[in-house]
Structure 1
Amino acid sequence: MPNCLMIVENLPVPLDRRAWQEACALRDAGWDVTVICPATERHPEREIVFDGIRIYRHPLPLEASGALGFLLEYGAALFHETRLAFKAFRRHGFDIIHIANPPDLLFLVALPYKALGRPLIFDHHDICPELYESKFKKRGPMHALLRLFEKLTFLFADVVISANETFRELAITRGGMHPDDVFTVYGFPDLTKFKRIPTARADDAINVGYVGVMGAQDGVDNLIRAVAMLRSQSGLPRFTCTFVGAGPELAALKALAESLGVADICQFTGFLSGETLLAALSSFDIGVIPDPFDTYNDKISMCKVFEYATLGLPIVAFELGETKRLLGDAARYAPDHTPVGLASAISDLLKDESLRRIYAERARERARLHFHWQDQVTALLAAYDRALLRSTRGTHRSGQPAAIREERS
């Protein structure tokens, strides 16, 4: 049986939906899969087998800010990933090493195994230089350093898996990858697990919803400001706003809702997963993408685009390049990139139930026609075939699996 090692630093599996779906698809295709990822309070087990996938978890990196914080945070993570990669190699061996950014430093963990003939797949989840620029509104030495790390990652990668076609183009033009070595795999939901479920409604208020990370670049404050503007409008039906997710700005966003006098109609659920997440999303009547225009948001494929559309929600968004390419006319776009524009687009849907139905059907049809996870599985397996083709080594195995506690979902 072929085997692979996946390294994911952003979130633990199975919480990282994209990484977990990829791991499950590889397992179903006959691969023996080992994943290295962070541990959290919800997922503290350091060594388990979950749904047939071997998982090694390490302590979360220290959270800090600035250049020193960057080095401390990712230095700690790299230490644990290096340690666990060696453990996985000694116990099980692996034929391919698959790294998923951020950050663009995981190639350092992979280099010893590349020297032993194991091909490296770079799963390009995020564009880190643009993310830095979006978060800190500047470039400078750290931005240049991130560009260097990105360049080195592409240099050492045998195959790249891009999160969208924009990323694929960056891998080819900025990263110097050959087009035949770059495969696009979108993070579409797996419809066997992600679907609308019945929910009990406390009242008949229209529920405007947001799901996602709550960081400085995510624009959740735009939605809170829009909610405050909408509340002051006359003639609108009663509405509430539900915020699903967590992040470094969560406390500040709650304080903003208090200061604008809308805390009573804004519910912050915190991080949700599994059935609880599906229940919360199924309670939305309108899904909002408040991420503002910048060099980062304009290029990324947000999970909420796929999730809102799959659940058949009418969608409101700013006009961002990748978002509009994915949704076309299946979203109601704000007339400008301000909270006032966002409020205007939401207001149109709040006032008109028939318009909500039109956009809900457009979103549902868009997902039905275009957002197919099984098609992405085909591309994922093709990327693995390409990586094996580029490898000049024979089959290697090292060691026997050590006993790991098994857990089933």
Structure 2
Amino acid sequence: MKTICMLTQSWYDFDARVRRKAEALISAGYSVDVLSLTGRDGKKTYTLNGVNVYTLSLGKKRGSLVRYAFEYATFFVWSLLRLSLMMWRNRYVVIDVNTLPDFLIFAALPARWMGAKLILDMHEITPEFYMSKYGLAADSWSIGMIRYLEKASFNCADYVITISEPIRDLLIARGLRPSKTIVVMNAADEARFRSSMSPAVGERSTDAFVMMYHGTLIRLYGLDIAVEAFSLAQGEMPGAELWILGLGSEEAPLANLVRERGLTAKVKLVGAVPAGEIPNWLKLAEKVRRRDFADTSRCVS
């Protein structure tokens, strides 16, 4: 049986994109190992739906660039050493590296020297991500370094996956060879909705009109604007509620904004929800707002 290894500096259980790929590979007859961060349950090693998961207890306490750098460097070194040792035993045919960070691809270089192909799945456009998050200028030395690492990373990969055509076009303009890249958009797993027969979770008032967001909580996605807009609309929609599912660096700022606007009874910050439970939450909402990866106009300079 051919074996594939996936790297992701995230909690595997909550990373819907990585999980869908891994479980699709299992269904296709491959053996799959994943290197990721230890989840909230603290499990170091476990198997989920046939996927073998190996984790590092690092946490996600990101805030400053220094903290980002520390977490990225620590996970990189651990992945480099762990993957190199596992490669001797398992002889992976493919290493699937999921960003961020882009340079995590270099942790798979020893595996390439031993015969594995490298795939880089670019979940974000890194320079624009940091420009938005920290207000960095496009011509700053730090963004210049990030752009250099981005290009070096996709040049290192045998194949590159992007999440939308606009991002693919942007990376091609930055030097990515068109012949080695494809687009695989984020999409819901319809099988989860068909098989979701358990009662809906959560509570809601009888007459509430629920609007819901599920995804990462970062400034780039404009959730502060959604809260402000919801505050303005209260007069016209007194029975409405806004539920925000997910974790991220904007969790505390959003909570503060909700309190400042007096919306604690109307805006609910639910926290992390496993991908398998999302269909049950959606049953409660009449309107759903999801991240639109195809619309990159707000984050591409």
TM range (shorter): 0.7 to 0.9
1:47-62 correspondence runs (5 A): 47-60=45-58
- Conserved 8 A contact 1:240-1:265: yes
Taking the aligned partners of 2:162 and 2:15, their CA distance within structure 1 comes to 16
What is the CA distance between 1:246 and its match in structure 2?
2.0
* 1:228-279 per-position Cα deviation (integer Å, ceiling 9, x unaligned): 211234xx45222212122222222122122112222122211112554322
Whether 2:219 is the aligned partner of 1:221: answer no
Structure 1 stretches lacking a partner, 5+ long: 292-296, 302-319, 324-409
Partner-residue secondary structure (3-state), 1:175: coil
Corresponding letter in the other structure for 2:147: R
Partner-residue secondary structure (3-state), 2:218: coil
Taking the aligned partners of 1:215 and 1:137, their CA distance within structure 2 comes to 13
- Conserved 8 A contact 2:38-2:59: no
Taking the aligned partners of 1:275 and 1:67, their CA distance within structure 2 comes to 32
Larger Rg: 1
Partner-residue secondary structure (3-state), 2:76: helix
Q: Which residue of 1 aligns with 2:213?
A: 210
1:69-80 correspondence runs (5 A): 69-80=67-78
1:30-45 correspondence runs (5 A): 30-42=29-41, 44-45=42-43
Over 3 Å counting, the alpha-carbon distance change for 1:237 and 1:261 in structure 2 is: closer
Corresponding letter in the other structure for 1:17: A
Taking the aligned partners of 1:69 and 1:201, their CA distance within structure 2 comes to 38
What is the CA distance between 1:172 and its match in structure 2?
2.7
Over 3 Å counting, the alpha-carbon distance change for 1:269 and 1:63 in structure 2 is: closer
Over 3 Å counting, the alpha-carbon distance change for 1:158 and 1:275 in structure 2 is: closer
Taking the aligned partners of 1:194 and 1:188, their CA distance within structure 2 comes to 12
- Conserved 8 A contact 1:61-1:74: no
What is the CA distance between 1:67 and its match in structure 2?
4.2
Q: Which residue of 2 aligns with 1:182?
A: 181
* 1:45-100 per-position Cα deviation (integer Å, ceiling 9, x unaligned): 22222222221111225635444333212111112111220232133221111111
- Conserved 8 A contact 2:102-2:126: yes
Over 3 Å counting, the alpha-carbon distance change for 1:281 and 1:322 in structure 2 is: farther
* 1:189-232 per-position Cα deviation (integer Å, ceiling 9, x unaligned): 21111357664753112112222222222211112111221123
Taking the aligned partners of 1:144 and 1:272, their CA distance within structure 2 comes to 36
* 1:324-365 per-position Cα deviation (integer Å, ceiling 9, x unaligned): xxxxxxxxxxxxxxxxxxxxxxxxxxxxxxxxxxxxxxxxxx
Corresponding letter in the other structure for 2:182: F
Whether 2:282 is the aligned partner of 1:281: answer yes
Taking the aligned partners of 1:248 and 1:176, their CA distance within structure 2 comes to 30
- The CA RMSD over aligned residues, in Å, is 2.4
Partner-residue secondary structure (3-state), 2:14: coil
Taking the aligned partners of 1:267 and 1:282, their CA distance within structure 2 comes to 16
Partner-residue secondary structure (3-state), 1:264: coil
Q: Which residue of 1 aligns with 2:17?
A: 18
- Report the TM-score, using the length of structure 2 for normalisation: 0.88
Taking the aligned partners of 2:274 and 2:59, their CA distance within structure 1 comes to 22
Q: Which residue of 2 aligns with 1:125?
A: 123
* 1:128-152 per-position Cα deviation (integer Å, ceiling 9, x unaligned): 1110111112232221111111111
Q: How many residues align?
A: 292
Over 3 Å counting, the alpha-carbon distance change for 1:64 and 1:254 in structure 2 is: closer
- Report the TM-score, using the length of structure 1 for normalisation: 0.66
What is the CA distance between 1:21 and its match in structure 2?
0.7
Partner-residue secondary structure (3-state), 1:33: strand
Taking the aligned partners of 1:205 and 1:61, their CA distance within structure 2 comes to 36
Q: Which residue of 2 aligns with 1:28?
A: 27
- Conserved 8 A contact 2:167-2:296: no
More strand by share: 2
Q: Which has the higher contact order (CA 8 A, sep 6+)?
A: 1
Over 3 Å counting, the alpha-carbon distance change for 1:164 and 1:193 in structure 2 is: same
- Conserved 8 A contact 1:124-1:162: yes
Q: Which residue of 2 aligns with 1:82?
A: 80
Partner-residue secondary structure (3-state), 2:92: coil
